A = this chain, B = another copy of it.
């Protein structure tokens, strides 16, 4: 890498990609050669947890470097409040663009902007609305249509499809996410029985290659300007449907058995019991759902991997592969029937743990290429990692960023002290579980604390859950009520207690500024507790001795 070349960051996210669905992470059948190659050139972090196992909340932590309880966007549809500092705010100060290609699940705090007189159409207003990014192509990829209207604003992708000749009002659904059914009917991708049928769209016009091309278009447009790009794919997130050939690369014989036991259903924690009753959980409890959906989930991942190949070659050809940090991760996992669950929401590793590969092209990282790191990593670590890599002063931001830079691990110089536990939070306030349990939104809170030994889950208003990660790595036995483990639970409750009291909101003065303010009022004539002039040095008296009556 040339020392003076401007540095870029390519921050790639897949949506709902489990940590263990990569061949480099040990999946026995899935092929992800390009991501494996990235891992071979970078570091793969094996214990990376999201700050919340749901898209919106998790992403707002990725983009702010702060815990969910600190930024407050607790679930999909809860706006990130105006004033929260984002990745874009940080890196722009370092001279870098911050651009979005794909999904964020951000909802704008329109009320907050109005209160502060921020025009949503101004540059600042757009950035506030887009969690700090300049949106080159925003697409949340969830273009549902129902009796109450659309779930999202129409993305550019729908115009693209129309230009390509895909007809109708809803090309995202009708072409990219539906197959051809019998007769003249569509076989909607929303129906999981259709998962293995090929999507009607041509592969090159499906979402993943479209978005990859858009990323490359931005890079061409940017020219020599340094950038941080968030390339954020909707897949392998549902609707589970893929264009040919990706619909048919894998079959039931490639589906690994579910991780679950009958004992889990015998006397479950009340919150877990209700989540098992959600429609998606009941669906994935059925073998035919798993064997039909998982091969396509795998195919969608392989499609992303193929596109990674395209993109990485493009970076090489542009001559910027040696000045671009590449990160590949996901916003959370997918139960896929493990633990009798579908979707995400709870904290088993298949939901709360994510893949994370970080490639640093600089020579400083040569010592660690192809290694894995088993330390506890949180998704909030990415903002400080990028900021650090781009030359920012982390100490000056430690009152805002709650994560820590991963650069020391990449450079083979692990910090003397590293975090002892990872935290994840989940608000189930909007779920049917909250409805059925009669829980008020503010009380529908779960908190995970994990280290390498135990995973403890505090459920407000209920007993905790507890998993022994050493003796029960599959997390099949909830020991939250085990009378012999009082001390273990008390320990992790204590950890959570201290974490809950962290100083997360003093974001307007840094640690250094606070230290610098000590004793300063005295030198501006605030003379507290003085009896007479002998109590303080003469130079601190201002005007007094010289003043005349």
Contacts and interface: CB of A to CB of B under 8 A. Distances in A.
Interface stretch (A24-32, A39-47, A359-367, A529-537): A529-537
Contacts of A498: 460
A520 interface: yes
Interface in A191-227: 191-193, 200
A388 B515 CA distance: 41
Given A82-B116, A458-B501, A77 B124 contact: no
Contact of A399 (B434, B442, B499): B442
Interface string A421-459: 000000101111011000011100101000000000010
A524 B150 contact: yes
Contacts of A532: 191, 193
Contacts of A520: 148
Contacts of A73: 506, 508
A147 B515 CA distance: 19
Given A460-B498, A543-B169, A544-B188, A509 B78 contact: yes
Nearest to A144: B525
Contacts of A168: 547
B184 A521 contact: no
B427 A145 contact: no
Given A72-B505, A118-B118, A145-B542, 16 more contacts: A72-B507, A80-B508, A81-B505, A89-B115, A116-B116, A116-B128, A117-B118, A144-B521, A148-B524, A151-B521, A184-B549, A188-B544, A191-B531, A278-B529, A342-B528, A432-B518
Contacts of A483: none
A122 interface: yes
Contacts of A506: 72-74, 78, 427, 442
B517 A430 contact: yes
Contacts of A186: 544, 547, 549
A430 B117 contact: no
Interface of A: 69-74, 76-83, 85, 89, 109, 111-112, 115-118, 122, 124, 128, 142-151, 168-170, 173-174, 178, 180-181, 184-186, 188, 190-193, 200, 238, 278-284, 286, 289, 342-343, 398-399, 427, 429-432, 434-435, 440-442, 445, 447, 458, 460, 493, 496-509, 511, 514-515, 517-533, 535-536, 539-545, 547-549
A543 B445 contact: no
Number of copies: 2
A447 B434 CA distance: 31
A508 B110 CA distance: 9
B539 A147 contact: yes
Contacts of A500: 497, 499-501
A42 to B, nearest CB: 32
A508 B74 CA distance: 10
10 contacts: A78-B506, A82-B83, A145-B524, A280-B528, A343-B528, A343-B529, A430-B517, A430-B518, A434-B518, A500-B500
